[in-house]
Amino acid sequence: MLHQSPLSSRNYQALLPHLSKRFRVMALDTPGFGQSDRPTEVWNVESYAKVALLCADALGVDKFHLFGRATGAVFAFVASQMAPKRLKRLVLHGMPVYTAEERRDRLANFAPPYEIDDDGSHLDWIWSRIQSEYPWIDGSLATYFFRDFLNAGPDFATSYRSIWQYDLPASFAAGGGKLACPTLLIGGGGDRINFMHERACSLMPEAQQAFLETATDFVAEQEPATFATLLADFLGDDVESER
């Protein structure tokens, strides 16, 4: 399971107990986030995508399911294109499909680094950013996000930049426009990037689709049992081999 940026595998701590009843599940920290080490150089999407494959190698796993949310969905998709024979099934939750103009705007304006100030004003900046992006958020969830922002450091947009520099539709078309394995696209009515769900469905028409009317970006944390059932239903054909 690959998380969205600039957060961490903590996003799945409520979900894992439900999924682990039926699957062996690994939630990974994107390098530079959570409790992971930062890369020593600038990474592109292929570098981030390769992490899932390297972890599978380290675990002695040849074929596996792969899940990604937002930034992690791009990395999961790219991993499936890099090693199509290793993927059983792919789940993309909130798959971001940017236009060229949106990517340019994000690179220029969306996530500038913050400076650490002696008076602690940078802490207020982080808290305000979290609340502005998720106006509905409660204090408990915001505190978790705050911790992830601090762990990511002042330049928290390293993995963001990799996907903003990546032309997903063009790359997919260049590779033949075929999905590597059975794929599920999940969207949510309360998701901050729900407007991209239709774009993803248009780009990948052979994928199965699921749209959760009330789901936010963090349905895995807010409704873990429901979300686990959705995933297990899609992955169900392989449940016996994963127990």
Tell me: do 15 and 59 sit in the same domain: yes
Find the domain containing 136 and state its range.
Answer: 112-156
Tell me: do 95 and 121 sit in the same domain: no
Tell me: do 25 and 143 sit in the same domain: no
In a domain? residue 204 = yes
What CATH number does the domain containing 225 carry? 3.40.50.1820
Residue type, 16: L
The confidence score (pLDDT) of residue 241 equals: 37
* Tens digit of each residue's pLDDT, the chain (243 residues): 999 999 999 999 999 999 999 999 999 999 999 999 999 999 999 999 999 999 999 999 999 999 999 999 999 999 999 999 999 999 999 999 999 999 999 999 999 999 999 999 999 999 999 999 999 999 999 999 999 999 999 999 999 999 999 999 999 999 899 999 999 999 999 999 999 999 999 999 999 999 999 999 999 999 999 999 999 999 985 544 333
The confidence score (pLDDT) of residue 226 equals: 95
Q: How many domains does the chain have?
A: 2
Tell me: do 72 and 94 sit in the same domain: yes
Beta-bridged to residue 66, according to DSSP, are 90
The confidence score (pLDDT) of residue 242 equals: 37
Tell me: do 83 and 174 sit in the same domain: yes
pTM of the predicted model as reported, rounded to 2 decimal places: 0.95
In a domain? residue 3 = no
And the tokens for 119? 């008076």
Tell me which long-range contacts 119-126 makes (C-beta under 8 A, separation of at least 24): 122/154, 126/150
Tell me: do 133 and 224 sit in the same domain: no
HSE-CB at 189 with a 13 A cutoff on CA atoms is 3
In a domain? residue 83 = yes
Which of 127, 156, 185 is the last residue before a domain boundary? 156
In a domain? residue 70 = yes
Within 10 Å of residue 48's Cβ, how many Cβ atoms? 26
Structure-token match 């009843």, residue found: 21
Tell me: do 84 and 201 sit in the same domain: yes
The confidence score (pLDDT) of residue 236 equals: 85
DSSP string, 5-18: TT--GGGGTTTHHH
What CA–CA distance (Å, rounded) separates 141 from 6?
A: 14
The confidence score (pLDDT) of residue 133 equals: 93
Which of 156, 175, 190 is the last residue before a domain boundary? 156
